[in-house]
Chain A
Amino acid sequence: MLEIKNLHVSLEEEDKQIIKGLDLTINAGEVNAIMGPNGSGKSTLSYVLAGRPGYEVTDGSITYKGQDLLEMEIDERAAAGVFLAFQYPIEIPGVATMQFLKVALNAQRKARGEDEMTTPDFMRLVRGKAEQLNVTTDMLKRPVNVGFSGGEKKRAEILQMAVLEPALCVLDETDSGLDIDALRVVAEGVNALRSPERAMLVITHYQRLLDYIVPDRVHVMSDGRIVKSGGKELALELEKDGYAAFAA
Chain B
Amino acid sequence: MTVSLMKTPAETAYADAFDPQGALADVRKSAFAQFAETGLPHRRMEDWKWTDLRQLISKALPPASGTSASAEAIDDLIAASPFGDVARARLVFVDGSYDPGRSSLPATGDVEFASLGSDDLPAWVSDKLVAGSTDPIAALNLAYMSDGAALRFKAGSGMDAPIELLFVTTAEQAATYTTRNVVVLDEGASATLIETHVGGTGEYLHNAVTQLHVGDNARLDRVKVQEEGLEAIHLSNLEVHLAQSACLKDFTLTIGGRATRQQGFITFDGEHSESYVSGAFLLTGKQHNDTRLVIDHAVPNCTSRELFKCVMDQAARGVFQGKAIVRRDAQKTDGNQSSHALLLSVDAEFDAKPELEIYADDVICGHGATSGDLDEDQMFYLRARGITETEAKSMLIGAFAAEAFDDVESGAIREVLGGLAEGWLARRKAG
* Interface residue ranges, A against B (CB under 8 Å): 50-53, 73-75, 77-79, 83-84, 86, 89-95, 100, 103-105, 107-108, 111, 143, 160, 164
B384 pairs with A74, CB closer than 8 A: yes
Could you tell me the distance between the alpha carbons of A79 and B391 in the complex, rounded to whole angstroms?
A: 14
B386 at the interface (CB under 8 A from A): yes
B385 at the interface (CB under 8 A from A): yes
A108 pairs with B386, CB closer than 8 A: yes
Distance in Å from the Cβ of A38 to the closest Cβ of chain B?
A: 21
Could you tell me the distance between the alpha carbons of A105 and B382 in the complex, rounded to whole angstroms?
A: 11
Most central of A79, A104, A164 by chain B CB within 10 Å: A104
Which of A94, A100, A160 is close to B400, meaning CB atoms less than 8 Å apart? Answer: A94
Could you tell me the distance between the alpha carbons of A93 and B398 in the complex, rounded to whole angstroms?
A: 11
Write the chain A residue with the least CB distance to B388. A75
Which chain B residues (383-412) contact chain A, with CB distance < 8 Å? Answer: 383-389, 391-392, 395-396, 398-400, 402-403, 406
Name the B residues within 8 Å of A100 (CB-CB).
382, 385, 395
Write the chain B residue with the least CB distance to A143. B399
B377 at the interface (CB under 8 A from A): yes
B380 pairs with A78, CB closer than 8 A: no
Distance in Å from the Cβ of A160 to the closest Cβ of chain B?
A: 7
Name the A residues within 8 Å of B384 (CB-CB).
50-52, 74-75, 77-78, 83-84, 86
Write the chain A residue with the least CB distance to B377. A90
Distance in Å from the Cβ of B230 to the closest Cβ of chain A?
A: 27
Could you tell me the distance between the alpha carbons of A103 and B395 in the complex, rounded to whole angstroms?
A: 10
* Interface residue ranges, B against A (CB under 8 Å): 376-378, 380-389, 391-392, 395-396, 398-400, 402-403, 406
B387 pairs with A107, CB closer than 8 A: yes
A-B contact list, 25 entries, CB within 8 Å: A51-B383, A53-B380, A75-B383, A75-B388, A75-B389, A78-B384, A78-B386, A79-B386, A86-B384, A90-B377, A90-B378, A91-B378, A92-B381, A92-B382, A94-B398, A94-B399, A94-B400, A94-B403, A103-B395, A104-B382, A107-B385, A107-B388, A107-B391, A111-B388, A164-B385
Could you tell me the distance between the alpha carbons of A84 and B392 in the complex, rounded to whole angstroms?
A: 17
Could you tell me the distance between the alpha carbons of A100 and B399 in the complex, rounded to whole angstroms?
A: 11
Could you tell me the distance between the alpha carbons of A90 and B400 in the complex, rounded to whole angstroms?
A: 15
Could you tell me the distance between the alpha carbons of A215 and B378 in the complex, rounded to whole angstroms?
A: 31
Which of B386, B402, B406 is close to A164, meaning CB atoms less than 8 Å apart? Answer: B386
Could you tell me the distance between the alpha carbons of A182 and B303 in the complex, rounded to whole angstroms?
A: 41
B380 pairs with A74, CB closer than 8 A: yes
Name the B residues within 8 Å of A75 (CB-CB).
383-384, 386-389, 392
Write the chain A residue with the least CB distance to B391. A107
A93 pairs with B383, CB closer than 8 A: no
Could you tell me the distance between the alpha carbons of A50 and B396 in the complex, rounded to whole angstroms?
A: 20
Could you tell me the distance between the alpha carbons of A95 and B383 in the complex, rounded to whole angstroms?
A: 14
Write the chain B residue with the least CB distance to A81. B386
Name the B residues within 8 Å of A79 (CB-CB).
386
B378 pairs with A111, CB closer than 8 A: no
A103/B391 contact (C-beta < 8 A), A50-B384, A90-B378 known: yes
Could you tell me the distance between the alpha carbons of A100 and B402 in the complex, rounded to whole angstroms?
A: 15
- Which 10 A-B residue pairings sit nearest by Cβ, starting from the closest? A94-B399, A78-B386, A108-B386, A90-B381, A74-B383, A104-B385, A75-B383, A107-B386, A95-B399, A107-B387
Given A51-B383, A74-B384, A95-B395, 11 other A-B contacts at CB below 8 A? A73-B383, A73-B389, A75-B384, A75-B386, A75-B388, A77-B384, A90-B377, A103-B387, A104-B387, A107-B387, A160-B385
Name the B residues within 8 Å of A143 (CB-CB).
399
Write the chain A residue with the least CB distance to B403. A94
Distance in Å from the Cβ of A45 to the closest Cβ of chain B?
A: 15
A94/B402 contact (C-beta < 8 A), A53-B380, A78-B384, A111-B386 known: yes
Distance in Å from the Cβ of B399 to the closest Cβ of chain A?
A: 3
Could you tell me the distance between the alpha carbons of A160 and B387 in the complex, rounded to whole angstroms?
A: 13
Distance in Å from the Cβ of A175 to the closest Cβ of chain B?
A: 20
Write the chain A residue with the least CB distance to B384. A50
Could you tell me the distance between the alpha carbons of A227 and B16 in the complex, rounded to whole angstroms?
A: 89
Name the B residues within 8 Å of A93 (CB-CB).
399, 403
Name the A residues within 8 Å of B383 (CB-CB).
51, 73-75, 78
Which of A52, A78, A91 is close to B385, meaning CB atoms less than 8 Å apart? Answer: A78
Name the A residues within 8 Å of B377 (CB-CB).
90
Write the chain B residue with the least CB distance to A82. B384
Distance in Å from the Cβ of B379 to the closest Cβ of chain A?
A: 9
Distance in Å from the Cβ of B420 to the closest Cβ of chain A?
A: 15
Distance in Å from the Cβ of A99 to the closest Cβ of chain B?
A: 9
Distance in Å from the Cβ of A71 to the closest Cβ of chain B?
A: 16
Name the B residues within 8 Å of A105 (CB-CB).
386
Could you tell me the distance between the alpha carbons of A59 and B377 in the complex, rounded to whole angstroms?
A: 25
Could you tell me the distance between the alpha carbons of A164 and B387 in the complex, rounded to whole angstroms?
A: 12
Name the B residues within 8 Å of A95 (CB-CB).
395-396, 399
Distance in Å from the Cβ of A80 to the closest Cβ of chain B?
A: 9
